[in-house]
């Protein structure tokens, strides 16, 4: 019976789930794993070292993070389809710019736009909509939409690396711009019908707004928020660092490039399966209760990548990263409405996304500078893995305190 109800949920809500999936899928062109595919070509084109390119990337990403708490509120004050139209149009322009520019200053501006509208606003728009539109099935909705990220990681690197090899790296960016433009009419048409019309508000609205509805300033003054960030920001820092320096790791470990890029499919497949399972578990137990667990496989990935150079290490790393991403994506999507309510969810998530963007900016910048100073990236990863374990220990009591606070506000945990 539960399986039948879940199938009905996916069918009945396919319009909004597909639209959210396409938004997160198309966010690939602002993600580090995509930009770093062309890292060697960009450094050669502009005469940059690892540290210099990392610094440029960090500055542009930090600038986008500073803008995000303001831009991210757009989804609170306008319809989802209008927000999607604007964000996708800006991402397409940024991808087109990358295919045409020849100035370092324009490179900074282009990366800024790619990070703000691609990495930031595309996923933010989709996940804010899912967090607000769903309550009892929020975990399943978020997990389906989050799969767009993993699907892009499986398909996009191989596809666009092939385009770059055949026609050049600038033509690959032009193809990315064309793809985003082609997706705009489909996403907008799907999102034009709001999932929460008046007759459904009574069904879901009361549960969505149980307890205190936190404003952005109140969240910033909450000590538990900062403790949660110890763990939540880890994937952004670590994942961005790994993808940004993947050319460096391939060269250092003498890995076959085709084998390395093919391993993304293992990571994506693992992430998708684990994400769907995690979505169901979130609806059963809550994202707050599952919070600490995603850090364990992330720590293992860091230790393996930091200490092993044989080819099998690639697949072990991708598998464990897939486990972590599969848990973290739906957990992060459902965590903030659970902890802070849905009324100001766009503002709250934009704050979180800003910090995540900061973390993703710091990763390539800090690790790139350390590489230039002679500290190898594998050595850095060992210390980063140790941090993950420490953060996991901290998340356990924090999770319990958040559950206790929700119960005090009237939420009933699953029995």
- Owner of token pair 């999936």: 21
194: in domain = no
Q: Tell me, what's the pLDDT at 139? A: 81
Rounded Cα distance, 273 and 35, in Å: 26
CA distance 311 to 250: 10
Q: Are 32 and 244 in contact (CB under 8 A)?
A: yes
Classify residue 114 by its DSSP letter.
Answer: I
Residue pair 266/344 in contact (Cβ under 8 Å)? The answer is no
Distances (CA, A) of 395 to 289, 297, 353: 10, 15, 19
**Which ranges of the chain have pLDDT less than 50?**
1, 4, 197-208, 414-415
Q: What is the pLDDT of residue 200?
A: 46
Q: What is the pLDDT of residue 1?
A: 47
On whether residue 204 sits in a domain, the answer given is no
pLDDT tens digits along 90-120: 999 999 999 998 888 999 999 999 999 988 8
Chain position carrying tokens 């803008």: 67
Write down the pLDDT at residue 170: 93
The Cα 415–Cα 413 span in angstroms is 6
On whether the CB atoms of residues 361 and 57 are closer than 8 A, the answer is yes
Which pLDDT score, from 0 to 100, does residue 140 have? Answer: 83
In a domain, 33, yes or no: yes
Let me know if residue 353 belongs to a domain. yes
Dihedral of alpha carbons 44, 47, 52, 53, sign: negative
> Would 269 be classed as within a structural domain?
yes
Show Cβ contacts of residue 336 under 8 Å, excluding neighbours closer than 6 positions: 131, 345, 348, 349, 352
CATH number at residue 43: 1.20.1250.20
Structural domains counted in the chain: 1
Burial class (CB in 10 A: 0-12, 13-18, 19+), 43: middle
Beta strands per DSSP E along 247-385 = none
What residue numbers bound the domain in which 274 lies?
Answer: 15-189+212-408
Domain-embedded: residue 387: yes
Asked whether residue 335 is domain-assigned, the answer is: yes
Do residues 79 and 382 make contact, with C-beta atoms less than 8 angstroms apart?
no
Q: For residue range 176-194, what is the model confidence (pLDDT) as tens digits?
A: 999 999 999 999 999 887 7
Residues 240-277 pLDDT 10s: 888 778 878 888 888 888 788 788 788 888 988 898 88
Residue 202 domain flag = no
pLDDT of residue 275: 86
Confidence (pLDDT) at 5: 54
Q: pTM surpassing 0.75?
A: no
Distance CA 58, CA 61 (A): 5
- pLDDT for position 59: 87
Residue 411: Cβ-neighbour burial (10 angstroms; 0-12, 13-18, 19+): middle
């Amino acid at each position: 019976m539960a399986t039948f109800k879940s199938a009905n949920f996916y069918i009945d809500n396919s319009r909004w789930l597909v639209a959210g999936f396409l938004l997160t899928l198309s966010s690939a062109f602002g993600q580090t794993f995509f930009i770093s595919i062309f890292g060697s070509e960009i450094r050669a084109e502009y005469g940059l070292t690892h540290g210099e390119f990392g610094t440029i990337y960090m500055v542009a990403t930090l600038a986008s993070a500073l803008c995000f708490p303001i831009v991210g509120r757009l989804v609170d004050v306008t319809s989802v389809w209008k927000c999607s139209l604007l964000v996708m149009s800006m991402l397409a322009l940024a991808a087109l710019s990358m295919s045409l520019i020849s100035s370092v200053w324009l490179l900074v501006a282009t990366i800024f736009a790619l990070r703000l509208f691609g990495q930031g606003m595309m996923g933010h728009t989709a996940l804010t909509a899912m967090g607000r539109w769903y309550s009892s099935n929020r975990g399943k909705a978020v997990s389906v939409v989050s799969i767009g990220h993993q699907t892009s990681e499986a398909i996009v690197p191989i596809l666009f690396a092939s385009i770059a090899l055949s026609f050049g790296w600038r033509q690959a960016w032009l193809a990315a711009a064309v793809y985003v433009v082609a997706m705009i009419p489909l996403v907008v048409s799907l999102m034009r019908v709001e999932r929460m019309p008046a007759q459904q508000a009574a069904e879901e609205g009361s549960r969505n707004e149980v307890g205190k509805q936190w404003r952005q300033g109140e969240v910033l003054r909450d000590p538990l928020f900062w403790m949660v960030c110890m763990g939540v920001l880890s994937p952004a820092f670590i994942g961005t660092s790994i993808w940004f320096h993947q050319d460096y790791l391939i060269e250092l470990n003498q890995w076959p490039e085709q084998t390395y890029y093919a391993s993304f499919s293992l990571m994506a497949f693992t992430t998708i399966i684990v994400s769907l399972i995690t979505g169901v578990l979130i609806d059963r137990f809550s994202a707050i209760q599952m919070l600490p667990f995603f850090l364990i496989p992330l720590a293992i990935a860091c230790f393996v990548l930091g200490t092993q150079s044989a080819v099998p290490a690639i697949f072990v790393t991708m598998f464990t990263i897939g486990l972590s991403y599969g848990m973290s994506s739906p957990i992060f999507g459902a965590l903030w409405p659970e902890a802070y309510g849905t009324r100001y969810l766009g503002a709250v998530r934009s704050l979180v996304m800003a910090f995540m963007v900061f973390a993703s900016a710091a990763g390539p910048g800090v690790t790139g500078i350390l590489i230039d100073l002679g500290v190898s990236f594998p050595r850095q990863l060992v210390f980063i893995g140790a941090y993950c374990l420490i953060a996991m220990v901290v998340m356990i009591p924090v999770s319990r305190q958040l559950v206790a606070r929700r119960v005090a506000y009237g939420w009933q945990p699953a029995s």
